[in-house]
Amino acid sequence: MVHSRRQLLQAAGVSALAGVAGCMTIESLVGDDESEAYRLEIDPFGESLIESTLYEPSSNEPFAEPAETALSAVLPDGEHTTYGFKPLPEDVYVEDDGRFFKLIYVVSGREEIERDIISVEPIEAKSELPDEPPQPEEFSQSTKRVLTVLHVSQAGGADSPLADELYNGRYVLRRPAERESQLATGGLDETVFSMTDGTAFAYRIHRTTSTLREPRYVLRAIEVADSETAFTETLRATEIDVELNADTLTTEVNAVLAEAIGQPYTEARPISDAFDATLKLLDVDTAELPVFNATLWYDEGPFRYSVTHQESV
């Protein structure tokens, strides 16, 4: 993205910062430990605010088919119902024929549905292991994913990052590709597989069938804008943390921002007046660092910024 004042600001940066180097403040700091420094990093989105925000459905199993089906059903003014799973993330934005929508779900009740449920049992006895057990890579993408989720859960227990995908430690086959996989048809019942070459991390697959009261998710698309200009304004109000207008900022603050764009900007304590003012404008409290991936609208474009503290060299 081209930023109209970027080159001018960066050209002014070195001289302006040199002029304020002797002006220091400790108003926003706790103590006066000169061994500590503050680091500001500002990076352009690399694309427009709209492009970076619009949701793009996954092309991988088992997510692609239910995502495409759901989008086709709800855009521009329909609805789509699923049981026990959400085919698309909630609160994301999508585009259809120049109009922009936000996806929302409503839980409208529960439905009793018979589901296949998969669990894995770790194999410890070598006598139970085949010489060359199959690995998940030999199965379909959907089957591989289910077995990987179960393996990660076995290793991490309740602290596993994938624990939320399981039902009492077991995986419920809900998505179409999962319900049509070998796991659902019984082709892998009691099969022993290994996550690695050889027999390390070996498991036996178990399948049971149970009737579950699944939540009924109704997906709808709410129109939020009918043009790119209107949608950009919507996103600036909802997705941007801080908006700064270069024309209303001091030369010194603009210089700090220009220096921080694309490369880290660091000052040791006590920091300059210009840097102190910049952090305040970015709504950064140095007592509550670090700050990561906050969003900024500056010089007619979107940025992400982070502020951290570190030991000065």
Q: Which of 224, 246, 263 is the last residue of a domain?
A: 224
Identify the H or E element spanning 214.
Answer: strand 202-225
Which pTM was predicted?
0.78
Q: How far apart are CA 146 and CA 184, in angstroms?
A: 11
Residues 189 and 208 in one domain: yes
Q: Which of 167, 202, 224 is the last residue of a domain?
A: 224
Residues 194 and 239 in one domain: no
Residues 107 and 215 in one domain: yes
State which residues form the domain around 270: 6-49+230-311
Residues 74 and 219 in one domain: yes
The predicted structure's pLDDT at residue 261: 96
Residues 66 and 84 in one domain: yes
The predicted structure's pLDDT at residue 287: 80
The predicted structure's pLDDT at residue 34: 59
Residues 199 and 109 in one domain: yes
Q: Is 56 among the domain residues?
A: no
Q: How far apart are CA 302 and CA 293, in angstroms?
A: 12
Residues 44 and 126 in one domain: no
Q: Is 1 among the domain residues?
A: no
Number of domains in the chain: 2
Residues 237 and 133 in one domain: no
Residues 128 and 277 in one domain: no
The predicted structure's pLDDT at residue 178: 96
pLDDT tens track of the chain, all 313 residues? Answer: 333 333 333 344 434 444 444 444 434 434 455 568 999 999 999 899 999 999 999 888 899 999 999 999 999 999 999 999 999 999 999 999 999 999 999 999 999 999 999 999 998 877 778 888 899 999 999 999 999 999 998 877 766 677 788 999 999 999 999 999 999 999 999 999 999 876 678 999 999 999 999 999 999 999 999 999 999 999 999 999 999 999 999 999 999 999 999 899 999 999 999 999 999 999 998 888 999 999 999 988 999 999 998 875 5
Q: Which of 189, 224, 259 is the last residue of a domain?
A: 224
Q: Is 55 among the domain residues?
A: no
51-54: long-range pairs with CB below 8 Å, 24+: 52/302, 53/93, 53/235, 53/239, 54/93, 54/94, 54/95
The predicted structure's pLDDT at residue 117: 97
